[in-house]
Chains A and B, each alone.
Chain A
Amino acid sequence: MEWLIGRLDWSYLPSDPVTIGAAIGMPLVLLFILGAITYFKKWKYLWTEWITTTDAKKIGTMYAIVAIVMLLRGGADALMLRAATAVGGPGGTKLFDADTFQQVFTAHGTIMIFFVAMGLMFALFNWAVPLMIGARDVAFPFLNSMSFWLFFAGMILINTSLIFGGFSNGGWLGYPPLTELQYNPGPGVDYWLWSLQIAGIGSLLSGVNFFATIVKCRAKGMTFMKMPIFVWSVFVTTVLIMISFPMLTASLGLLGLDRLAGMHFFTSDAGGNPMMYINLIWAWGHPEVYILVMPAFGIFSEVVATFSRKRLFGYKTMVWALMAIMFFSFIVWQHHFFTMGAGANVNAFFGIMTMVIAIPTGVKLFNWLFTMYRGRIKFSVPMVWFMCFAVTFTIGGVTGVLLSIPAIDFQVHNTMFLVAHFHNVIIGGVVFGYLAGLVYWFPKIFGFRLHEALGRWAAYCWMVGFMLAFMPLYALGFMGAVRRLDHYDDPAWIPFFVVSAVGVVVIGIGMGLLVLQLAYSIWKRKTLIDKTGDPWNGRTLEWSVPSPAPHYNFAIDPVVSRIDEWWYRKQEGVEAPKDGDYKAIVLPKNSPLGFLIGMAALVLGMALIWHIWWLVVVAFVGIVVLAIIRSMDDFTEHVIPASEVMRMDKEARA
């Protein structure tokens, strides 16, 4: 039987009550959704409009949906962790066993970074970048669809582990030798490994795609120095992705070879060197945090300028600051393990480089403040997120500079202080930024705004909850509480952990309000409708088309002559297009192959996790064959005639 089903076995079904609950609940929810789709006869719609789509805006929406669902999953994990530490003090109770606790923090970190932050990031790239540069779509629409389905396959893998086999207990970066076969023979680490490998390759291809899009598909007249800052931030991010993600592929690949082929890259015997893995993965991991945060900087640059009714202060310094951060982010990775023992000089170099990054980041913050100075500021929801960000991110930046001093780092390495720091920059920077971006571009994609008051209350809950949840962790770090701890003996820590748990609950309420805001806005979409296509009195090209943006984006190719083209054009008076201006449009055709390749990758991942070798071969050959079929097809586009474009455009503008 083993040749047929590998190491699949009933003993891998979950045994503790928390996991059993999730393992029964998740398939039920899935069955309910599939049943609803069948009942409402939506399969064909789903297939033609979404699964096979090559339209960047729709792909972006799918990324957003996956990311928001995963945010709830990762949030539930966070709640479990802080609940366990709130009651895990001396004389307390144990909510669940240590191994489950380890799986939960690993899942929390992995899901939040790879499937929430990266998901929201690609959602916003897809929504905004083509529209902002005046393009019809991305450079390679099919590749875009394939990237999404690879991301989706990774997401399915990571969630399957909950139902069958358990997840990794090795932390979100899976440090060896703990994650080697010797200490972790089960499928948990393999779930983590292949989920990230598949999703990571999707992200890498997306990086290449958006790089080519920005270089090759800009509107006529839009030189690099006339691009919106968000596009600049995406450009810099794609360069980071292209340089760093191959290192993730390599680190995971080598660990996979250790586990599958008995090699000795990172084992503790036969000459393996675990620190090599830690260097490699942080050489990816540090650029990765800038990959996440730079688009957030870009979003805030758009938001602050739009809601202050002013041109962004210091456009050129913004660009140079992005470039500087891009460069420095590659020469700081060793600050994640100053305690490795590389010596004083090496630590000093990496410490100083880390401090230097604070300078361009500070430049950006001052640019935003100066943009607001004497502006007619409208405190709409995205702007509220910016205010929350400006405070939180600054605190996070300051504690980051503190950590960059090796002598201090030795004291607080791997303590709750570190946990507080990186949540401070990731929640305060990345999450606030992306949530602002979702509210900002939502009307452009769906044609109606999100409810204002609910959005504002969500932001307040996130902000207050964040402070409650993480400020105590800084104190705990100084008191000696190490991270990834499920129980402790010091009664002085109890109040801090309890306050922190309360904070997570408040953030949970903030998440609930976000979902409520979405649901309520969909219900009230008639009153929240955006008729003008320009609900915020925007400055960049995406606001020049009707909302929701038509699938061809621009009926007439825009021409650009300055930064904030749309703002100035509005002041000069926008003329309605003449009938003769319309030309035929070429658009990519839908294709099921991206979806099929993603599904084949999912099967490949499953086969590798469970050691079903024949299925590995079948799935791999399947991917190759599908790729060849795609490369044979030279007719991947269709044409909309000029008269049809004119009809659709007039209808959309009516």
Chain B
Amino acid sequence: MNEAELTAHKHDKAQLGFWAYLMTDCMLFASLFATYMILRNNTNGGPAAHELFSLGFILVSTIILLTSSYMCGLANLALHHNRRKEFVVYLGATMLLGAAFLGLELYEFGHMIAEGHGPDASAFLSAFFTLVGLHGAHIAIGLLWAGVLVWALYRQGSNFDIKRKFGLFAIYWHFLDVVWIFIFTIVYAMGVAL
């Protein structure tokens, strides 16, 4: 194999490996969703989902996260058209919106804990904090990852294989969106409705 083929092969392997990893992550979330579904009515005499969640608040953070994902898509497009400046702007927007989402989540968590509805109050709350918190932790890792990408791009300039590395980040970021849609539906919407 010549050099171009080797690079393509390496890219190919990384792409498949990363998809496979995401599927394992999917199974991790699936386990937590199942646990949440089993434990969601075990409120230990404390408040149930419909007494805790406000759909308006969650709708705002959902829109923020989806917009972040949209920005990530625009960044990917800009990168493929070699518009580097545009790319940095869109990536900045992606990160900013992601951070805003995480901030809102932490505010929600803090608020609940302050009111005495922390993760140690009931099985339902344990499952809630863990499922939503795991998604939040993924967002935090994504922000760190994006930060490292920006730093490397700044340091290494055009030597840095940003297209390949950003491609993987983009898949990850969209994946977290999909997981959030399930959380929005199963935890929040169903929690308020049922």
Determine, out of B34-42, B53-61, B86-94, B180-188, the stretch whose residues face the partner at the interface: B34-42
A240-268 interface (Cβ within 8 A of B): 242-247, 249-251, 254, 257-258, 261-265, 267
The residue from B1, B25, B124 contacting A271, defined by CB atoms under 8 A apart: B124
Given contacts A140-B17, A263-B119, A273-B123, contact A628 B148 (CB under 8 A): yes
Q: In the complex, what distance in Å separates the CA atom of A243 from the CA atom of B165?
A: 25
Q: In the complex, what distance in Å separates the CA atom of A258 from the CA atom of B35?
A: 14
User: Which residues of A does B touch, CB under 8 Å?
Assistant: 139-140, 143, 204, 207-209, 211-212, 215-217, 242-247, 249-251, 254, 257-258, 261-265, 267, 270-273, 276, 280, 283, 586, 624, 628, 631-632, 634
Determine, out of B6-14, B63-71, B96-104, B170-178, the stretch whose residues face the partner at the interface: B6-14
Chain B residues with CB under 8 A of A624: 144
Chain B residues with CB under 8 A of A254: 32, 35, 130
Contact A250 B17 (CB under 8 A): no
Q: In the complex, what distance in Å separates the CA atom of A263 from the CA atom of B93?
A: 36
B107 at the interface (CB under 8 A from A): no
Q: In the complex, what distance in Å separates the CA atom of A272 from the CA atom of B161?
A: 48
Chain B residues with CB under 8 A of A247: 27-28, 31
Instruction: With both chains docked as a complex, state the minimum distance between the C-beta of A639 and any C-beta of chain B, in angstroms.
Output: 10
Contact B16 A586 (CB under 8 A): no
The residue from A140, A204, A215, A280 contacting B31, defined by CB atoms under 8 A apart: A280
The residue from B13, B24, B32, B144 contacting A242, defined by CB atoms under 8 A apart: B24
Given contacts A212-B17, A265-B35, A628-B148, contact A243 B123 (CB under 8 A): no
Q: In the complex, what distance in Å separates the CA atom of A56 from the CA atom of B37?
A: 42
Instruction: With both chains docked as a complex, state the minimum distance between the C-beta of B153 and any C-beta of chain A, in angstroms.
Output: 11
Given contacts A249-B28, A261-B119, contact A273 B38 (CB under 8 A): yes
Q: In the complex, what distance in Å separates the CA atom of A272 from the CA atom of B122?
A: 8
B126 at the interface (CB under 8 A from A): yes
Contact A264 B44 (CB under 8 A): yes
- Identify whether the interface residues of A are mostly helix, strand, loop, or mixed: helix
Chain B residues with CB under 8 A of A271: 39, 42-44, 122-124
Q: In the complex, what distance in Å separates the CA atom of A247 from the CA atom of B13?
A: 25
Contact B31 A261 (CB under 8 A): no
The residue from A211, A243, A263, A631 contacting B130, defined by CB atoms under 8 A apart: A263
B179 at the interface (CB under 8 A from A): no
Contact A251 B31 (CB under 8 A): yes
Q: Which residue of A lies closest to B14 (CB)?
A: A140
Please provide the 9 A-B residue pairs with the shortest distance between their CB atoms, ordered closest to farther.
A271-B42, A271-B123, A250-B31, A263-B126, A246-B27, A262-B120, A246-B28, A212-B17, A271-B44
User: Which residues of B does A touch, CB under 8 Å?
Assistant: 1, 6, 9, 12-13, 16-17, 20-21, 23-28, 30-32, 34-35, 38-39, 42-44, 119-124, 126-127, 129-130, 144, 148, 152, 159-161, 165
CB within 8 Å: A-B pair count: 116
Instruction: With both chains docked as a complex, state the minimum distance between the C-beta of B68 and any C-beta of chain A, in angstroms.
Output: 22
Q: In the complex, what distance in Å separates the CA atom of A586 from the CA atom of B7?
A: 11
- For A207, A212, A251, A631, the residue with the greatest tally of chain B CB atoms inside 10 Å of its CB is A212
The residue from B13, B35, B124 contacting A139, defined by CB atoms under 8 A apart: B13
Question: Can you add 8 more A-B contacts, CB < 8 Å, to A139-B17, A247-B27?
Answer: A209-B17, A212-B13, A212-B16, A245-B24, A247-B31, A254-B35, A270-B121, A273-B38
The residue from A217, A246, A249, A631 contacting B13, defined by CB atoms under 8 A apart: A217
Chain A residues with CB under 8 A of B127: 265
Chain A residues with CB under 8 A of B165: 631
A and B contact pairs by CB, cutoff 8 A, 12 listed: A204-B24, A216-B12, A216-B13, A217-B13, A247-B31, A257-B130, A262-B120, A272-B123, A273-B39, A276-B35, A283-B31, A632-B148
Instruction: With both chains docked as a complex, state the minimum distance between the C-beta of A464 and any C-beta of chain B, in angstroms.
Output: 42
Contact B27 A243 (CB under 8 A): yes
Chain B residues with CB under 8 A of A264: 44, 120, 122-123, 126
Instruction: With both chains docked as a complex, state the minimum distance between the C-beta of B97 and any C-beta of chain A, in angstroms.
Output: 23
Instruction: With both chains docked as a complex, state the minimum distance between the C-beta of B164 and any C-beta of chain A, in angstroms.
Output: 10
Q: Which residue of B lies closest to A215 (CB)?
A: B16
Chain A residues with CB under 8 A of B13: 139-140, 212, 216-217
Q: In the complex, what distance in Å separates the CA atom of A251 from the CA atom of B32?
A: 9
Q: In the complex, what distance in Å separates the CA atom of A265 from the CA atom of B35?
A: 8
Contact B20 A270 (CB under 8 A): no
The residue from B25, B121, B126, B130 contacting A246, defined by CB atoms under 8 A apart: B25
Contact A246 B31 (CB under 8 A): yes
Q: Which residue of B lies closest to A250 (CB)?
A: B31
Q: Which residue of B lies closest to A631 (CB)?
A: B148
Q: Which residue of A lies closest to B9 (CB)?
A: A216
Instruction: With both chains docked as a complex, state the minimum distance between the C-beta of A206 and any C-beta of chain B, in angstroms.
Output: 12
The residue from A211, A250, A262 contacting B28, defined by CB atoms under 8 A apart: A250
Chain B residues with CB under 8 A of A212: 13, 16-17, 20
Q: In the complex, what distance in Å separates the CA atom of A272 from the CA atom of B35?
A: 11
Q: In the complex, what distance in Å separates the CA atom of A215 from the CA atom of B161?
A: 24
Chain B residues with CB under 8 A of A258: 126
Instruction: With both chains docked as a complex, state the minimum distance between the C-beta of B96 and any C-beta of chain A, in angstroms.
Output: 21
- For B42, B122, B123, B152, the residue with the greatest tally of chain A CB atoms inside 10 Å of its CB is B123
Chain A residues with CB under 8 A of B126: 257-258, 263-265, 272
The residue from B35, B121, B122, B144 contacting A280, defined by CB atoms under 8 A apart: B35
Q: Which residue of A lies closest to B17 (CB)?
A: A212
Chain B residues with CB under 8 A of A261: 119-120
- For B6, B25, B31, B130, the residue with the greatest tally of chain A CB atoms inside 10 Å of its CB is B31
Given contacts A211-B20, A243-B27, A246-B24, contact A265 B39 (CB under 8 A): yes
